[in-house]
Amino acid sequence: MPKKNQFSQTLVLLGLFLVVATTACTGNSTAPAPTPGEADTSETPQPTDNSAEAPQAADVGLTLTDEGLQLINLQTGSTTPLAFDSDMATTLDAVTQVLGEPEETSENSECPSGPLTIASWSNGLALNAADDTFVGWAMRPSDDDTALTTVSGIGIGSTRQELEETYTVEVFDSSLGVEFSAGQLFGLLSSPEPTGTITNLWAGVACNFR
């Protein structure tokens, strides 16, 4: 009997030892200390660089149309019309965002079509307004490299041949010179020859003295 009791006590002590040892091994969740010279990143979240995902301001272009102007988002290709008969202040603000402030804004009460307020830029663009309404635009020759064209690339300096490859064109002599019409686009050519170039271009209400 004494030997049996002693054996039982030994088993109990051995069981307690195993429980304590197991608890000591599994209860310690602390990560091992880093070795010298090694950064400890086990519990410190690393910052991520999201700058590449930040939205960038879209580049905006401006083109001429026979119904007004058109803003183009150069990143997405989406367009926003600035149509004739719209509010001039809204149109002027949109164009200013692209081209900057106009060089000059003047009143011309002697235009054949009636009094116009004309805002003009160094690239040759002029916007015409009547009673605070955007009614027309005109392009004149300029050395500025931001001169505007239609979506198809027709503008000051384009040849008659290039014009006729894009539009149905009528060319005729007028008191203004060699004049043409291409739908609702109008202008002047340096000559009636295929190599003659566009010197003036307009759409909508213009201030032309014939």
Q: What domains appear along the chain, each with residue ranges and CATH number? A: 60-204 (2.60.460)
Can you say whether residue 14 is alpha, beta or left, with left for phi > 0 and alpha for psi between -120 and 50 degrees?
alpha
The reported pLDDT for the residue numbered 26 is 42
Can you say whether residue 37 is alpha, beta or left, with left for phi > 0 and alpha for psi between -120 and 50 degrees?
left
Alpha-carbon gap, residue 127 to 133, rounded angstroms: 10
> Hey, how many other C-beta atoms are within 10 angstroms of the C-beta on 169?
16
Alpha-carbon gap, residue 121 to 205, rounded angstroms: 18
The reported pLDDT for the residue numbered 19 is 38
Alpha-carbon gap, residue 39 to 60, rounded angstroms: 47
Tens-place pLDDT, residues 64-121: 999 999 999 999 999 999 999 999 999 999 999 999 999 999 999 999 999 999 999 9
Tens-place pLDDT, residues 18-38: 333 444 444 444 445 544 545
**DSSP 3-state of 190:** coil
